[in-house]
Structure 1
């Protein structure tokens, strides 16, 4: 598996800047695996679920610290009713995709929940492993087809291979 280097990251950022413009990227961006969108239906996610997840991911800066946007903030950002956010989060929780723990403010009141996406991450991981295996199998099949075709091409050329010419 390839490791991501600072040079790779810098190149990706430059490509993103070409697509979106430097100010848009400088204002912030969110990283998420494409398989999340590719397998949206298989994960049982509708459009609102996806946007809620993306909004939560927008607040997840470090792997070791959970994101904690408030439900009110999610509703305002998405321009939907708070009940819509609550309903979708409850379903995502029932499905085991997203869980949360309540947090207390330093004054003892309720703070925004801390979200845990472990269930979703596990499923995305499993789908990604399947996707990579399918790609590898397809590449192997292409190579095998290419090897089968070469002898036929040599016969058409009078039995001469590239080394014989």
Structure 2
């Protein structure tokens, strides 16, 4: 309760009362909303979670977030995405990627969809309308650490 009072006093959340309920929501029209959102996304969001999880999967050469989440991350206006679309380039085991997506869903509280392509498919995606669309829209590279399991 004390934290909500502080956030409200700082103008980071707005509140209203309905009976004896106190309803609170983020105040997104402030100058600090975007930097705070970026900080949270980088530390607790899809990039951090997926980077950690994919670092433990063998044969992942590179990975990207695409779709609506990447568009919001790039600053395009719109609603908060309900899912996270992930493109994985490499020859990782499909079951490992499935397990990684489910673990990410548990941490992020939203659906995670993984599309896997071989290096050749990704490099030669011209002529494929779906992959050309992915390439033409925001792509956010996921930092994958070279380490154990890779």
Q: TM-score range by the shorter chain?
A: under 0.3
Relative to its length, the structure with more helix (as a share) is 1
Give the TM-score normalised by structure 2. Answer: 0.28
Give the TM-score normalised by structure 1. Answer: 0.26
Relative to its length, the structure with more strand (as a share) is 2
Q: Which has the larger radius of gyration?
A: 1
Tell me: higher relative CO, structure 1 or 2? Use CA pairs within 8 A at least 6 residues apart. Answer: 2
